Amino acid sequence: MRLGYRLPSIQFLPSYTRQYHHIHRSISDMTTVNKTTHPFDKTQLEALLSRRFFYAPAFEIYGGVAGLYDYGPPGSALQANIISEWRKHFIVEESMLELDTTIMTPSPVFETSGHVARFADWMVKDTKTGDVLRADHLVKNVLSARLADDNEVRLGTQQPVDPAAAKKKKKDKTPPKVALDPAVAKEYEVILAQLDNYSGPELGELCKKYNIRNPDTDNEVGEPQQFNLMFASSIGPTGQHPGFLRPETAQGHFLNFSRLLDFNNGRVPFASAQIGRSFRNEISPRAGLLRVREFTMAEIEHYVDPEDKSHVRFKEVRDVILVLLDRHVQASGRTEVVDMSVGEAVDKGIIANETLGYFMARIYQFLLKIGINRSRLRFRQHMGNEMAHYATDCWDAEIENSTGWTECVGCADRAAYDLTVHSKKTGHPLVVRQYLKEPIVTEKLVGDLNKKLVGKSFKQDAGGLTKHIENLDEPELFKLKEDLSKGNVKIETSEGKTFELSPEFITIEKKTFKQNIREYTPNVIEPSFGLGRILYTLLEHNFWSREQDKERGVLSLPAVVAPTKVLIVPLSSREEFDPIVAEICTSTMVIAHDEVTLTPYAPMTAAKLRRAGVFSRVDDSNVSIGRRYARNDELGTPYGITVDFACEYSTTSFFFPIGKIIPNGMLKQPCKIGLSICLCHDIQRERYHGSENWHDGRGDCGCYGFGRGEHRVA
């Protein structure tokens, strides 16, 4: 949508012109900023996030609990905006059915789903201190550190020792960095490439073979043991109804399948979606938001006919290029990735089916939209031993951050596992009944018992025999028929009872059946998003320091997810600016309800800036305006409106980017666009919803050069 207006020339007061003469910049100067001058500094980012209260350890004044975090105002707003975009990108775009199911779950549900028996990680204990470590993470961290040390030694990039710290180093028990034998280094690389495929006992063997110890104490570790990750609880005062806090939202979808199917008028395919809290009792949560014990998930369960896993919209994403790391490459001990279109990957069988490929492409598009760096995003296929007990195929969207490649989204083909096991356990058929346009005629071998003779001969045991015969499949019936042709046959039921049958007890023959209804259990494709991990990697990918001042950090968050969209900043604390600030926040928004243009003419709609869906914040503190800009650089605020001296006379305010989302860099002082207050609302709304960008706005509204008192239409 283009903004259909041009501003008249703006008159500047002499005092205004003199004051801003020194910050005049041409638009071309915006390309001079280098965001990669300084290497990423995780300590600096974490200090910023703590100082601006994006998040903080929960119960901090009580000492805190590992793996539990509270989000502050900017962190909560950032998460809410990510969720809002997720809901629009998936639920609205795909017409999904949204759910909100309970967190507390009765134990029988997870016993049936397999979580009680198999939802576990392998842990090892320090043999002296008893400290608990996750086995696969221990192996990964120790071997990765050894490879890093080897690389430093060989390249000669070890940092010189500070003489002042030499005495402290003497007491340091950390072994010196050494070069590895090339063959050993290669073994380490192969192990790391295949790490997710190792079982618990195999991880224990690796610890012994390569002398892997607790890095904090240098003590040996014991044999790996399984640890179930679910938080156990009880429902009710008697303690007779055990339960668990859910480790995923998925089971709530499956148990409501029949109601969802009915709501969708019995049609398949369809998808349900849910955003909510989940809990996992992580063994050693030591990586901030990347490994926590309570977190927000967004999960989709897409139900599809097992005989037709095509997707009606697959052609829309067929040419999307993904970075893929398949299981065969990993099994060979390598980590080389390949760029391949979704269509080609499905055609070659690398991605199992169209529906799985469609959602992988949509996941990719969503992550790029909210600000993930495409060069640090890949899809890795799970290997056999790594696969969850319910999955037949699974790809993880992994995002690279300061800790390495981190799984942020899983996209699994769960087949019919969950619906099948819950159906068997409860006796409630979680199936689809499809009415056929043309009936299917089939022949089937059937065993008919002589019920009168069976009842007379076996009396109270007749029911068990009847049930046993009904459960025989066609090969078993064929064998029974052959055996009966030779004489009497002894049959043992699952209850351990034995019956001797003669040919007159049962007739086995083929019968013709006409099927008008096809009954099947749908398969499930499940994209599952860990929003905390996505949020943290998003912050890392969009953090940088100014070229001239390394200590001044900037968060370049995309406007669609930024906690605050617009900063309203008076040039000074003069009282005459107050009514102008109030007018910006509460003025009449002018919109033409036209699909092509917006004009500053009727119809008039009364609305506040925030009512227009734009969250704004006024910063009228007494610090310098430069410091206020810098403060909002740290908060990730993408746009601002400056109330200056010209506003007193022309009711004109100025729209500018603070420096985070200008594609080609930023200025020490921002380039400004002049526009009338009544149009600020329209432009801000268009910008942060993504339908306009900085260059479009500059062309529509015009720029002016400070110090010359001139207005230019770019």
For position 492, which CATH number holds?
Answer: 3.30.720.200
Please determine, for residue 562, whether its predicted confidence score (pLDDT) is greater than 90: yes
CATH number of the domain encompassing residue 337: 3.30.930.10
The predicted structure's pLDDT at residue 630: 86
pLDDT of 267 strictly over 80? yes
- Six token digits for residue 633: 């650089």
The mean per-residue pLDDT over the stretch 576-585 comes to: 63
Q: Read off the pLDDT band of 709 (50, 70, 90).
A: very low
pTM for the whole structure: 0.77
Quick one: residue 256, left, alpha or beta (phi over 0 = left, psi -120 to 50 = alpha)?
alpha
Provide the 8-state DSSP code for 160.
Answer: P
Looking at residue 652, what is its pLDDT? 39
Domain that residue 369 falls in: 84-110+230-419+523-532
d(CA 179, CA 153): 6
DSSP 8-state class, residue 181 = P
Stretch 364-388: mean pLDDT:
92
Which pLDDT score, from 0 to 100, does residue 17 have?
Answer: 30
Same domain, 452 and 591: no
**pLDDT computed for residue 704 by the predictor:** 41
The secondary structure of residue 221, as a DSSP letter, is B
Q: What is the mean pLDDT of residues 353-365?
A: 98
Q: Which residue has the higher pLDDT, 33 or 405?
A: 405
> What residues does 3 pair with on adjacent strands?
598
The answer on pLDDT for 146 being more than 60 is yes
Q: What is the pLDDT of residues 418-460, one digit of tens each?
A: 999 999 999 899 999 998 888 888 888 888 888 888 888 878 7
Kindly state whether residues 491 and 379 are assigned to the same domain: no
Integer CA distances (angstroms), 430 to 103, 269, 523, 709, in order = 22, 15, 11, 73
Please report the pLDDT score of residue 658 as a whole number.
Answer: 39
Domain count, the chain: 4
| Alpha carbon separation from 258 to 35, 110, 243, 429, 523 (Å, rounded) | 53, 19, 23, 8, 14
| Same domain flag for 352 and 240 | yes
| Tokens 């969720």, located at residue | 83
Q: Answer yes or no: are the C-beta atoms of 502 and 371 closer than 8 Å.
A: no
Question: Do residue 97 and residue 13 come from a single domain?
Answer: no
Co-location of 489 and 571 in the same domain: no
Burial class of residue 471 (count of CB atoms within 10 Å of its CB; 0-12, 13-18, 19+):
exposed
- Provide the phi-psi class of 67: left if phi over 0, else alpha when psi is between -120 and 50, else beta: left
pLDDT on residue 486: 82
In degrees and rounded to multiples of 5, residue 82 shows phi and psi of -65, -45
- State the average pLDDT over residues 57-80: 96
Angle at 627 between CA 684 and CA 619, to 5 degrees: 45
The Cα–Cα gap between 594 and 3 comes to 11
Among 186, 207, 228, the domain-final residue is 228
Q: How far apart are CA 421 and CA 392, in angstroms?
A: 15
Mean pLDDT value of segment 599-615: 47
Contacts of 457 (CB under 8 A, 6+ apart): 505
pLDDT category at 360 given cuts 50, 70, 90 is very high
Give yes or no: residues 267 and 204 share one domain. no
- Assigned domain for 208 exists: yes
Domain boundary among 472, 495, 520: 520
Q: Over the chain, what is the mean pLDDT?
A: 80
At 452 the pLDDT is 82
Q: How far apart are CA 245 and CA 232, in angstroms?
A: 7
pLDDT at 279: 96
- The confidence score (pLDDT) of residue 706 equals 36
At 576 the pLDDT is 61
**DSSP collapsed to 3 states, 134-145:** EHHHHHHHHHHH
Q: What is the CATH number of the domain that holds 180?
A: 3.30.40.230
Q: Which amino acid is at 341?
A: S
State residue 476's pLDDT score: 84
Cα-only R_g, the chain = 33
- Statement to judge: residues 471 and 322 lie in one domain: no
Is 594 found in the same domain as 472?
no
Question: Is 164 inside a domain boundary?
Answer: no
- Residue 24: pLDDT above 50? no
Assigned token pair, 376 = 């640090």
Same domain, 141 and 93: no
Give the pLDDT score at 19.
Answer: 29
Q: Are residues 499 and 528 in the same domain?
A: no
Q: Is 546 within a domain?
A: no
Query: Do 382 and 252 reside in the same domain of the chain?
Result: yes
Q: Show the DSSP H helices in 194-341 as ranges.
A: 200-209, 250-255, 257-263, 314-317, 327-331
For residue 66, is pLDDT > 50? yes
626, 611: one domain = yes
- 628, part of any domain: yes
In a domain? residue 46: no
